[in-house]
């Protein structure tokens, strides 16, 4: 029997008879030629049936097969530059065709354009489409790259709890639940505080898991459940943190370029822009960013959009500001030194400028905006206690956290990278919802 192959390795089998197990994605015919686009989970390949070469019964069976039927196909691999598919450039001349299951002939996610709500309601089927399939393959590679780089650079993985007794990133976006007789528990907004404990035992750590924010934001950058990797490093200041972040992000992009080029091409992503991503990334202060935004505001002639871009020192960037700022860049850009008032309670103040924090966000270029948020952490126990009080956080829940500043406190820093925003940027997508298999937003928890 012909050997079973994966479509993404088809180039190794030119001239050989092979077998693929998959599904019919699309079917067209031209006279005596029938073209099937078959997907097998690893790729999409064109399979061709020529009437004169096959028994009539078999040809008719192929002619009638509905979209999404599951099939096992045997055939000979040929190189043909014109053949569509992912990776494309090869086709299979059909010699055998078995139907495993004949699909019902009313497949809802057919090949025409559908509205956003329709495709999201059919997400369980939509993921079979080439664009969605490509995005989720890239997502898996981004996650693999994240773990690889951290594991190979002295970081140890520490799983932090999802059920937590207190907020980390502000009390306004908490999902809460009753925790037996112990009071309220909250779904984790971040594993950072636990990682700050972990570094005093392991020096460099990361947690990587789902993160929950009851964000009322309806932007194309926000989910209520997203995946975040959070590295934390002892004996590390803000400049060293930026050095780490740019190495890390460069590695992720390079790995995707090597392993998922066919998928990027299928999404029409301009890979040339990604190919020039190398350290160093530009580093600008928040103060400088404010100046740039003022210039953008003043030179904007579109009255309606202009007001959205108005910006004064002390504000946090909104989506329109991040878009405008990063449209000017082709590499990711660091913005450091945000106002203390717009950032979380745990950030170390700038020396001599307490209104500024030792924070840094990494903004993805081409209008994408923040993919990483990070900072140096407060190492002084008295200042930290003041901040916990100022932010109205429950002191009791933070007793353990204050201990970290009493026993061997050191300058330390860390950051969180959002997987979905990173994937949206690398894939060149407009909206973050396509970057996770089953997106959760304020208005969606189905399927
Ligand atoms: O800037 P954030 O809120 O930072 C933290 O949570 C820190 N505790 C991280 C740390 O220092 N350990 O979130 C970090 C990143 C953002 O840059 C963004 O990529 C992503 O997480 N993110 C979201 N992604 C999708 N939907 C949301 N609602 C997100 N909120 C944050
Ligand atoms: Mg942030």
Q: What's the pLDDT at 131?
A: 97
Grade residue 188 by pLDDT with cuts at 50, 70 and 90: very high
Q: What's the pLDDT at 114?
A: 87
pTM for this prediction: 0.97
- pLDDT greater than 90 at residue 442: yes
What is the secondary structure of 88-141 as a DSSP string?
A: -SEEEEEEEEEEEEPPPS--SS-SS---HHHHHHTHHHHTTSHHHHHHHHHHHH
Q: What's the pLDDT at 169?
A: 87
Query: Mean pLDDT, the chain, as a whole number?
Result: 96
Token pair of 314 as six digits = 């002390």
In percent, how much of the chain has pLDDT > 90?
91
Q: What's the pLDDT at 112?
A: 73
Mutate to test the pocket of ligand 1, among 205, 226, 347 (most ligand atoms within 8 A of CB): 226
Q: Is 87 in the pocket of ligand 1 (CB under 6 A)?
A: no
Q: Which domains does the chain have, with CATH numbers?
A: 3-101 (2.40.50.140), 124-435 (3.30.930.10)
Residue bearing the CA closest to ligand 1, atom 1? 373
- Cα(417) to ligand 2 centroid in Å equals 9
Atom of ligand 1 nearest to the CA of 173: 28
Contact 230, 441 (CB under 8 A): no
- pLDDT greater than 90 at residue 166: no
- Mean pLDDT, residues 265-279 taken together: 97
- pLDDT greater than 70 at residue 369: yes
Grade residue 111 by pLDDT with cuts at 50, 70 and 90: low
Q: Is 188 in the pocket of ligand 1 (CB under 6 A)?
A: no
- Cα(360) to ligand 2 centroid in Å equals 9
Q: Is 357 in the pocket of ligand 1 (CB under 6 A)?
A: no
- Mean pLDDT, residues 251-269 taken together: 98
The sign one gets for the Cα dihedral 241, 361, 342, 192 is negative
Atom of ligand 1 nearest to the CA of 372: 17
Q: How many CB atoms lie within 10 A of CB 352?
A: 6
- Cα(363) to ligand 1 centroid in Å equals 12
Atom of ligand 1 nearest to the CA of 224: 28
Atom of ligand 1 nearest to the CA of 370: 17
- Cα(371) to ligand 1 centroid in Å equals 7
* CA distance linking residue 445 with residue 447, whole number of Å: 6
Q: Is 425 in the pocket of ligand 1 (CB under 6 A)?
A: no
Could you say which DSSP state residue 51 is in? G
- Mean pLDDT, residues 230-243 taken together: 98
* CA distance linking residue 257 with residue 269, whole number of Å: 11
Grade residue 410 by pLDDT with cuts at 50, 70 and 90: very high
């Amino acid at each position: 029997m012909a050997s079973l192959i994966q479509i993404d390795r088809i180039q190794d089998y030119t001239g050989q008879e092979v077998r693929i197990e998959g599904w019919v994605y699309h079917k067209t015919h031209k006279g005596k030629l029938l073209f099937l686009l078959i997907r097998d989970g690893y790729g999409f390949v064109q399979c061709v049936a020529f009437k004169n070469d096959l028994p009539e019964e078999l040809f008719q069976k192929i002619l009638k097969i509905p979209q999404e039927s599951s099939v096992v196909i045997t055939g000979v691999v040929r190189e043909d530059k014109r053949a569509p598919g992912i990776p494309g450039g090869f086709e299979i001349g059909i010699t055998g065709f078995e139907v495993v299951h004949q699909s019902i002939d009313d497949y809802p996610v057919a090949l025409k354009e559908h509205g956003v709500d329709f495709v999201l309601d059919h997400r369980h089927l939509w993921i079979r489409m080439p664009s969605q399939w490509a995005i989720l393959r890239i997502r898996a590679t981004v996650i693999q790259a994240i773990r690889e780089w951290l594991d190979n650079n002295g970081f140890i993985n520490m799983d932090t709890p999802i059920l937590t007794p207190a907020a980390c990133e502000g009390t306004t976006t908490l999902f809460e639940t009753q925790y037996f007789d112990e009071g309220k528990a909250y779904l984790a907004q971040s594993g950072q505080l636990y990682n700050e404990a972990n570094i005093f035992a392991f020096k460099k750590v990361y947690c990587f898991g789902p993160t929950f924010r009851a964000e009322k934001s309806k932007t194309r950058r926000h989910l209520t459940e997203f995946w975040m990797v959070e590295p934390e490093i002892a004996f590390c200041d803000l400049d060293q943190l930026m050095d780490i972040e740019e190495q890390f992000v460069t590695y992720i992009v390079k790995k995707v370029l090597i392993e998922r080029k066919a998928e990027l091409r299928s999404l029409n992503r301009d890979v040339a822009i990604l190919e020039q991503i190398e350290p160093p990334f530009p580093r600008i202060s928040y103060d400088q960013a404010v100046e740039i935004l003022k210039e953008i505001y003043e030179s904007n002639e579109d009255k309606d959009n202009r007001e959205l871009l108005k910006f004064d020192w002390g504000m946090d960037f909104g989506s329109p500001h991040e878009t405008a700022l990063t449209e000017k860049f082709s590499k990711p850009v660091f913005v450091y030194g945000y106002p203390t008032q717009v950032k979380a309670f745990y950030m170390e103040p700038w020396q001599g400028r307490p209104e500024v924090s030792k924070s840094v966000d990494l903004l993805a270029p081409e209008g994408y905006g923040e993919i990483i948020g990070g900072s140096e952490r407060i190492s002084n126990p008295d200042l930290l206690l003041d901040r916990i009080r100022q932010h109205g956080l429950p002191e009791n829940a933070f007793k353990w956290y204050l201990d970290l500043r009493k026993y061997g406190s050191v300058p330390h820093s860390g950051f969180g990278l959002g997987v979905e925003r990173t994937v949206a940027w690398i894939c060149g997508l407009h909206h973050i919802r396509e970057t996770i298999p089953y997106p959760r937003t304020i208005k969606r928890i189905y399927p």
